[in-house]
Amino acid sequence: MSIPREIAEEAASLRKTISYHNYRYHALDETEITDGEFDRLFQRLKSLEADYPELVTDDSPTQRVGAAPLASFSQVQHELPMLSLDNAFSKEDLIDFERRINSRLGSAQTITFTCEPKIDGVAVSLMYEDGKLVRAATRGDGTTGEDITQNVRTIESVPLRLQGDDLPRRLEVRGEIYIARSTFERINQQAQAAGEKIFANPRNAAAGSIRQLDPRLTAKRKLTMFCYSVGLVEGGNMATTQYEILAQLRQWGLRVNPLVRTVEGAEAGYSFYEDILSQRQDLDYEIDGVVFKVNSIDLQQALGMLTRTPRWAIAFKFPAEQALTRLLDVEFQVGRTGAVTPVARLEPVRVGGVTISNATLHNMDEIARLGLKIGDTVLVQRAGDVIPKVVSVDHASRPEDARDIILPATCPACGSEVVLLEGEVIARCSGGLICSAQRKESIRHFASRLAMDIEGLGDKLVEQLVDEGLITSPADLYQLTEAQLVGLERMAPKSANNLLAALDKSKTTTLPRFIYALGIQEVGESTARNLALHFADIHALEQAGPEELQAVPDIGPIVAGKIVAFFHQEDNRKVIESLLATGISWPSIETSVASATLAGEVWVLTGTLTQLTRNEAKARLQALGAKVAGSVSKNTTCVVAGDAAGSKLTKAQELGVKVLSEEELLVMLQSHGQGNS
């Protein structure tokens, strides 16, 4: 259907008018028409586009939301890296920054700085081609980010098409996406009313919103953005100062922070910093400092950059925000690795724009250092995304009924003994195989490649099995049936049978792998192998005391104590018996006295091995009693040099240390009975 000329002209005029008023509202914070008049224009354009779909352009104001949900985000390579900034924390740091600039420039001039409030949000890159938004990406690691174009298109303050005629052919704009404080409070109120999870702070809310796979959800969060610089510029002229570049961006329709100023020298910069700090709580957005940039682009280029940071910019961070409140109680939480951590329950208090009711206490040593008791008045600190912490205690105001904080004797999650060994600061639950708090982690570790190597049993499947109540310990894995597995999401009969076959295959293992799979604290592959060679039997290891364990190479009193505590737990021993009852077995091995033909020797592996992996070579050498070190010294017995061996080979030759090729290593292993996988 052909579009009448007057309709096409009206639609084009409406798009231009709506974009102009968006520019006035978002970039200049000014309005020329009422909200009602704007809505009337917008609805008229939507009506025309509905009647004549051919009129729709992808940069039309009506097309901000409408893309289908993504399956995942694709990767984006930044054509120019998005650098990090060095930090300043005092006036002296800022003065030193100016001094370093002059030293590098070989001058003693007063530097003009552009000063910008440091928005506490999510750094993004916007790419415009011929004025049209074609891509948006997260900062990522500075080199590679994620393509978030569909989500950024929902942000009303980000123009889909820039204003003006003097635009570069390609322009990369960088800035910070955030959620206003007032919007954040509204979102959390709505979530709380709906019984949903609330966000901890505006930055987390912005980061979670911008990475929604469904752009319609992002649109509901009402994100906004301040632009602070440009990256790649092709086919156009940019201003010669940072401040004028920001003015250009504002002129083209991009939103720039209205508090940006230029100052002469570090002293004036510090005055600006103090002024912004005094306004911090009155702003409708979170800031965590002030960014100072050398204003002259020529000077920026002369100063250059370090590996990841420019020499011409610095972030002067605000001091951590603090507040006084009362410690109501202390609860102990069990982490996925069994660490038992005290958590302070506080009388709710506002710190840095966020209500704090919990804070970490780290460990019992920290509680002792603070001299903390339940009922005390405490100073709580929050700095950025760091978990709130108790900084100090007002002992003078301690109430008479203040109570001591006592480490529980048993795990709050499973009732197993809590162990705090001498010389350690972290208490741990000893019920590694049966503790509900550690369940997913212990099963994931049990199934991992270097442990029981159960192919197809990944993290997500472990979570499903635990969440569905199908397994409570590693032993339950071997009781799973096809009927149970096919009832899980995305588990077809073929996948179920493949997993069952992998479980059956894993029953034939080695004693070192089995010991490692138990997940005993501080018992890695090397220690597990030493234990297997020394005891040759799992039940002999179960019954070993601290002195006998310390006779094993590389096992001291702390590791011995953790092994004893693990096997002392009756429920752990029951799980081991259940595992053995499923048919798990291994070939018998000789004790260390008979098989440790390389005992006392120190070997080093360097370069690329082509017939063995580094882990396989290390395991076979350790099985013969050798210690495999990471560096060459006069105590090194032998160095195995693979392809492209570097400084370790050179040092071995300088010290006269014996060097073997990979082929010679394989011959040696074969002669010692270690030739097969």
* Residue 456 one-letter amino acid: G
Which two three-digit tokens encode residue 39?
A: 């809505």
Quick one: pLDDT at residue 224?
A: 94
Main-chain phi, psi angles of 174, to 5 degrees: -120, 145
**Span 537-550, average pLDDT:** 92
Burial class (CB in 10 A: 0-12, 13-18, 19+), 500: middle
Quick one: pLDDT at residue 296?
A: 95
d(CA 626, CA 575): 32
d(CA 317, CA 314): 9
**Is 371's pLDDT higher than 90?**
yes
Which two three-digit tokens encode residue 404?
A: 């001591």
Strand ranges of the sheet holding 122-129, from the earlier edge strand across to the other edge:
132-138, 122-129, 170-178, 224-234
**Span 104-116, average pLDDT:** 93
d(CA 17, CA 154): 19
Do 78 and 231 form a contact (C-beta atoms < 8 A)? Answer: yes
**Span 52-58, average pLDDT:** 78
Which two three-digit tokens encode residue 436?
A: 């509900």
**Span 635-645, average pLDDT:** 90
**Span 591-614, average pLDDT:** 76
Do 176 and 121 form a contact (C-beta atoms < 8 A)? Answer: yes
Task: Cite the beta strand spans of 404-541 per DSSP E.
Answer: 418-419, 427-429
Task: Cite the beta strand spans of 495-631 per DSSP E.
Answer: 602-606, 627-629
**Does residue 118 have an active-site annotation?**
yes
**Span 92-116, average pLDDT:** 94
Domain 5-63 is found in CATH 1.10.287.610 = yes
Q: pLDDT-derived band of residue 27, with 50, 70 and 90 as boundaries?
A: low
Do 432 and 516 form a contact (C-beta atoms < 8 A)? Answer: no
pTM: 0.53
Do 566 and 521 form a contact (C-beta atoms < 8 A)? Answer: yes
**3.40.50.10190, 3.50.30.40, 3.30.470.30, 3.30.420.10: CATH of 86-317:** 3.30.470.30
d(CA 207, CA 120): 11
- pLDDT digits 0-9 by tens, 164-190: 888 999 999 999 999 999 998 888 888
Higher pLDDT, 118 or 38: 118
Quick one: pLDDT at residue 28?
A: 66
The CATH number given to 439-581 is: 1.10.150.20
**Is 403's pLDDT higher than 90?**
yes
Quick one: pLDDT at residue 353?
A: 63
Q: CB under 8 Å to 404, separation ≥6 — which residues?
A: 373, 374
Quick one: pLDDT at residue 126?
A: 96
Packing angle of the helix pair 459-467, 439-447 (nearest 10 deg): 140
**Is 360's pLDDT higher than 50?**
yes
Which of 50-54, 96-100, 543-547 has the lowest average pLDDT?
A: 50-54
Domain boundaries, the chain: 5-63, 86-317, 322-397, 439-581, 596-671
Percent of the chain with pLDDT over 90: 47
Which two three-digit tokens encode residue 146?
A: 């994620």
Please state, as a whole number, how many other Cβ atoms lie within 10 Å of the Cβ of residue 503: 20
What is 322-397's CATH topology?
OB fold (Dihydrolipoamide Acetyltransferase, E2P) (2.40.50)
**Span 641-660, average pLDDT:** 90
Q: CB under 8 Å to 400, separation ≥6 — which residues?
A: none
Average pLDDT, the chain: 87
**Is 257's pLDDT higher than 60?**
yes
238-242, 428-432, 641-645: range with highest mean pLDDT:
238-242
Higher pLDDT, 271 or 196: 271
Q: pLDDT-derived band of residue 594, with 50, 70 and 90 as boundaries?
A: very low
Superfamily per CATH, domain 596-671: BRCT domain (3.40.50.10190)
**Is 191's pLDDT higher than 60?**
yes
Do 636 and 655 form a contact (C-beta atoms < 8 A)? Answer: yes
Quick one: pLDDT at residue 335?
A: 83
Packing angle of the helix pair 265-279, 91-105 (nearest 10 deg): 140
Q: What is the secondary structure of 311-343 as a DSSP string?
A: TTEEEEEPPPEEEEEEEEEEEEEE-TT-EEEEE
Name the active-site residue from 16, 46, 118, 220.
Answer: 118
Quick one: pLDDT at residue 331?
A: 94
Q: pLDDT-derived band of residue 590, with 50, 70 and 90 as boundaries?
A: low
Would you put residue 607 in left (φ > 0), alpha (ψ -120 to 50) or beta? left
Question: Which residue shows structure tokens 């080093």?
Answer: 604
- pLDDT digits 0-9 by tens, 490-528: 788 999 999 999 999 999 999 999 999 999 988 888 889
Which two three-digit tokens encode residue 105?
A: 């420039």
**Is 1's pLDDT higher than 70?**
no
Higher pLDDT, 592 or 112: 112
Task: Cite the beta strand spans of 147-300 per DSSP E.
Answer: 170-178, 224-234, 261-264, 287-294
d(CA 133, CA 451): 50
**Is 591's pLDDT higher than 50?**
no
Which two three-digit tokens encode residue 312?
A: 């011409």
Q: pLDDT-derived band of residue 476, with 50, 70 and 90 as boundaries?
A: very high
